[in-house]
Structure formats: structure tokens, C-alpha cells
């Protein structure tokens, strides 16, 4: 017997009707967003609307931490962002489980998630700022949803007023502790000896898990300073023995060392912060002009950076999230034009993506690369990286140079998918520093 929606709703008790309608709504939104995003599209932490700013994803209470949740600990990831203006936008989200390449897994939602996503209810308008915005915040897991299995999770936010328009993606990983990692970073590489590269060496201790075919069953991903453009993918083991799989030395794990990140800060319009040449107000916005930049010298100079991160801060503020203002920040690099590619501002402030939002334009009249970004007050790290035409990986050599002494962070992800399994389990994660003594 066929039932219309109206007849079906009449058979549902009034106390359950709201949940029924919400369920149908979420199903429709999931289908629409899946079609929009593409099944084979890799998910990245990113925003997709000009009015969205300052998306940050980290463990609650620790802005330096990567958003990695451990199944043996009660941890929560925090997602925060701003939408320009004080108008309220009812926002919802969906949760996707992803494979090692951050593409959606072929799992039903009930297989990886307990509960059902709902509205984002934590939002606060900005206070005493020249640029009006509304600050949104959510956590994962929360009272509504909780991950059931390990792996990669993409939380995708959309407006209920326009479910077909995706606003942002926030990526979070959940790891088990089935194996142990022993790792180090060295300047003594198979490419050169204490010059321009760093090599990651690591071992997987498998006393608690039998891995019969590491080359086929494991997926390895290694990131330098949270960058995906130069990620190391699936290096082959250099040794397999009972209880231990080694990946050293391995040419696939050699990275250009880069240089320490450049830094600037703007906390108030009353005085110029670090790296700032001047601050001016041109109605309706404040404008910060950074000191003129130049290619780095040929010798290494240590600076205590935060490996490409940024922190929202402002002078005489009690709540940075809602009292920090937005300024236009102007960058200028004095340099001859580099042929055969483009120059990008890279770091968390541009989501580590070499795209049009981060690409600098060359001004022949001033003989400089120039760019302006609309940023929230705070402390910022960034690097000027070059992407040759036809390639996707950014290079530090043309402007920043490479020095083996550079302090970098490396993230090692170990995924496990034996024959017959339906998803990639994240069985180990490690964050290592190339200069742990500093």
C-alpha cells in the first residue's frame, strides 16, 4: 500500500513529527551537498564563500594542536569561524567519513556516526568593531553526534536557507593506538648532507597488531607543517621483521627544508605591531601595510615561529573571538619577476592552498609582488612559496631558500585497510619536530 507524505505524517505522533521532518530535511541536504561536492573530491579544511572568514580547527583549549582525536581519551575538537555581518544565519552540517586521501568512504552514516547533526547554536555578534561579523563555534563530538570508528571525518556546514550552497569544510581525524611509532627528522639525507633537505625516518612497532602485507594493507601519509601540496604518500617499507616495519632511510621521505616562517602582528590601530610599516583608516576599513619584504639571505637565521599558524589577539580585549577587528593587510615583496610560475602566500591564513586567494600579482611599476588579505587582528605566520607552471607542489627555494636547520613539524598518519575491509582505519598518528631541543 502506498502512503502519501501527508497520510504518513498523520500517523506520526505530534511529539515525533518535528524529528521526522528534520530527518527528511537532513537526507535531502546530504544528497544535495554530495552531488555538489563530488564523490571523488578530496576534502580539505577550507571556506567556499567570501563572507566566511577565520576558520580554525583544533583541539578544544589548545590552538597549537592538530585536530586529532584519540579513541582512548576524552577529547573534543573545536571548530570556529566568522560570517561578515550581524544577520543571523541558521546553519546546519553533515558529517562524512573519508579514506586516507580524504575522499568520502563508501559507508552508510549509521556505520560511522552515532546521532544526527542539527543546528549550530553557538553564535555571538562582534562587539565594538568597525567590521561587523558573527562568530560561530561548534565542537565534535558533541551532544548530538559522536564518531563510532577511527579514520578521517569531514564536517561540512551549509545554510538552511540555501542547502545547496556549501559554506565550509572542517577536517578532523580520529585515531586508535593499535601500533606505536618511533620517528626522527635528520638533515643527513640521501640527497645531501646537512644542506637543503630533511629526511623523516620512522618505524612502526606492531606488537599488538599482525600486519601480514604492509605494502598493501598500510597507507602512509606524511605532512610538513600541515601542507598537502608536498605530502609524502605511501613510501615502501625498507625493512619488515617480526613486530617491526621500518621506513628508513627512504628517498620518498625527503622534504625540502624550507626556512623559518615570516611573522607579523597587528593588535591595535594605536601603534604598529611587529612587521608593520603603518596603519591607516580609509572609511570603512582599517588598512595595515607591512614592511617591504625581500628574498631571504643565503645564510640561515633562526627565528622562533609557529610553523605557519596564526592566533587571534587584540589589545585591551576581553574576548578575542568577538572583539578583534578585521583589517586589510597589504603585502609587498621587492623582487624581479620569477618566470615560469606564480608566487603564493602560504600558511594557515590561506589554508595552505596555492590558489587565487593566496596568489600574489606582479606590479612592474614597483618591481614588486603584491597582495592584500582581509584578516582578523592577531599574530600571523606565512611563507612566500613558488609554484612552477604545470605543477601543484610549492617550492621555497626561489624566495625563502632551504636550510636543513629549519624547525619544521611533521605529521605521520598510518592507515590500515586489510583485504576485504571497507574503510581506512587510522591506527597511529605522530607529530614530530625537526629541532626538538629548541
Place of cell 606524511: 222
Say how far residue 185 (Cα) sits from the centre of its chain: 22
Q: Which of 182, 190, 181, 186 is nearest to 200 (CA)?
A: 186
Q: Which of 179, 307, 198, 182 is nearest to 253 (CA)?
A: 198
Q: CA 397, CA 384: separation in Å to the nearest integer?
A: 10
pLDDT of residue 21: 36
State the span(s) of the chain assigned CATH 2.70.50: 5-175
Q: Are the CB atoms for 229 and 394 separated by under 8 Å?
A: yes
- Helix (H) / strand (E) element for 110: namely helix 109-112
Q: CA 231, CA 100: separation in Å to the nearest integer?
A: 12
Can you read off the three cell numbers belonging to residue 377?
587582528
Query: Reduced to 3 states, what is the DSSP secondary structure of residue 109?
Result: helix
Could you report how far apart the first and last alpha carbons of the chain are, in Å?
Answer: 72
State the span(s) of the chain assigned CATH 2.60.40: 180-257+406-433
Q: Which residues in the chain show pLDDT less than 50?
A: 1-37
Beta strand pairing call for 68-70 and 162-175: parallel
pLDDT of residue 164: 87
For the chain, the maximum distance between any two Cα atoms, rounded to a whole number of angstroms, is 80
Residue 366 dihedral angles phi and psi, to the nearest 5°: -100, -5
DSSP codes joined into one string, 118-146:
-B--EEEE--S-SS-EEEEEEEES-SSEE
Q: Are the CB atoms for 44 and 169 separated by under 8 Å?
A: yes
Nearest 5°: CA angle at 349, between 408 and 118?
110
- The radius of gyration of the chain from alpha carbons, rounded to an integer in Å, stands at 24
For 5-175, which CATH class? mainly beta
pLDDT of residue 69: 98
Q: How long is the chain?
A: 438
pLDDT of residue 39: 58
pLDDT of residue 34: 45
Q: 180-257+406-433 has which CATH code? A: 2.60.40
The model's pTM: 0.91
For 215-272, the three-class secondary structure string (H helix, E strand, C coil) is HHHEEEEEEECCEEEEEEECCCCCEEECCEEEECCCHHHEEECCCCCEEEEECCCCCC
- Helix (H) / strand (E) element for 209: namely none
Q: CA 152, CA 100: separation in Å to the nearest integer?
A: 7
pLDDT of residue 315: 97
Query: Reduced to 3 states, what is the DSSP secondary structure of residue 104?
Result: strand
Q: Are the CB atoms for 296 and 333 separated by under 8 Å?
A: no
168 to 53, 79, 156, 240, 384: CA distances (angstroms): 10, 11, 6, 41, 25
Q: Are the CB atoms for 223 and 152 separated by under 8 Å?
A: no
Query: Reduced to 3 states, what is the DSSP secondary structure of residue 284?
Result: coil
E-strand ranges in 77-196 read: 77-84, 91-98, 113-115, 122-125, 133-140, 145-147, 151-159, 162-175, 180-186
- Helix (H) / strand (E) element for 16: namely helix 14-37
Q: Which of 104, 59, 102 is nearest to 79 (CA)?
A: 59
Q: Which of 197, 196, 201 is nearest to 184 (CA)?
A: 201
pLDDT of residue 338: 98
Instruction: Provide CB contacts within 8 A for 266, sequence distance 6+.
Output: 272, 273, 276, 279, 288, 327, 329, 377, 378
Q: Are the CB atoms for 212 and 187 separated by under 8 Å?
A: no
Query: Reduced to 3 states, what is the DSSP secondary structure of residue 320?
Result: helix
Q: Are the CB atoms for 46 and 168 separated by under 8 Å?
A: yes
Amino acid at each position: 500500500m502506498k502512503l502519501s507524505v501527508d497520510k504518513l505524517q498523520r500517523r506520526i505522533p505530534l511529539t515525533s513529527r518535528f524529528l521526522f521532518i528534520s530527518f527528511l530535511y537532513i537526507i535531502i541536504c546530504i544528497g544535495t551537498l554530495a552531488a555538489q561536492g563530488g564523490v571523488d573530491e578530496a576534502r580539505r579544511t577550507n571556506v567556499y564563500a567570501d563572507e566566511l572568514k577565520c576558520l580554525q580547527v583544533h583541539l578544544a583549549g589548545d590552538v597549537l594542536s592538530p585536530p586529532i582525536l584519540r579513541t582512548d581519551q576524552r577529547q573534543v575538537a573545536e571548530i570556529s569561524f566568522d560570517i561578515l555581518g550581524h544577520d543571523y544565519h541558521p546553519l546546519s552540517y553533515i558529517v562524512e567519513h573519508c579514506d586516507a586521501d580524504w575522499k568520502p568512504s563508501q559507508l552508510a552514516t549509521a556505520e560511522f556516526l552515532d546521532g544526527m547533526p542539527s543546528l549550530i547554536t553557538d553564535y555571538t555578534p562582534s562587539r565594538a568593531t568597525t567590521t561587523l561579523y558573527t562568530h560561530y563555534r561548534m565542537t565534535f563530538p558533541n551532544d548530538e553526534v559522536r564518531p563510532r570508528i577511527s579514520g578521517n571525518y569531514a564536517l561540512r556546514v551549509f545554510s538552511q536557507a540555501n542547502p545547496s550552497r556549501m559554506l565550509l569544510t572542517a577536517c578532523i581525524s580520529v585515531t586508535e593506538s593499535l601500533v606505536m611509532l618511533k620517528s626522527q627528522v635528520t638533515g643527513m639525507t640521501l640527497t645531501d648532507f646537512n644542506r637543503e633537505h630533511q629526511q623523516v625516518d620512522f618505524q612502526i612497532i606492531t606488537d599488538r597488531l599482525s600486519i601480514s602485507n604492509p605494502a598493501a594493507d598500510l597507507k602512509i601519509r606524511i605532512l610538513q607543517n600541515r601542507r598537502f601540496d608536498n605530502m609524502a604518500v605511501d613510501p615502501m617499507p625498507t625493512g619488515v621483521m617480526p613486530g617491526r616495519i621500518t621506513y628508513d632511510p627512504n628517498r620518498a621521505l625527503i622534504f625540502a627544508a624550507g626556512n623559518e616562517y615570516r611573522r607579523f602582528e597587528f593588535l591595535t590601530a594605536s601603534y604598529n605591531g611587529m612587521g608593520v610599516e603603518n596603519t591607516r583608516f580609509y572609511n570603512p576599513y582599517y588598512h595595515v601595510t607591512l614592511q617591504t619584504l625581500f628574498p631571504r639571505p643565503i645564510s640561515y637565521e633562526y627565528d622562533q615561529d609557529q610553523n605557519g599558524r596564526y592566533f587571534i589577539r587584540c589589545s585591551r580585549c576581553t574576548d578575542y573571538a568577538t572583539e578583534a577587528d578585521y583589517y586589510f593587510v597589504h603585502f609587498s615583496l621587492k623582487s624581479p619577476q620569477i618566470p615560469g610560475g606564480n608566487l603564493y602566500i602560504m600558511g594557515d591564513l590561506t589554508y595552505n592552498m596555492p590558489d587565487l586567494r593566496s596568489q600574489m600579482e606582479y606590479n612592474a611599476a614597483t618591481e614588486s609582488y603584491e597582495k592584500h588579505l582581509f584578516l582578523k587582528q592577531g599574530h600571523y605566520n606565512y611563507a612566500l612559496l613558488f609554484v612552477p607552471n604545470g605543477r601543484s607542489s610549492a617550492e621555497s627555494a626561489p624566495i625563502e631558500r632551504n636550510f636543513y636547520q629549519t624547525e619544521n613539524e611533521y605529521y605521520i598518519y598510518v592507515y590500515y585497510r586489510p583485504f576485504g575491509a571497507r574503510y581506512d582505519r587510522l591506527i597511529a598518528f605522530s607529530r614530530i619536530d625537526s629541532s626538538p631541543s629548541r
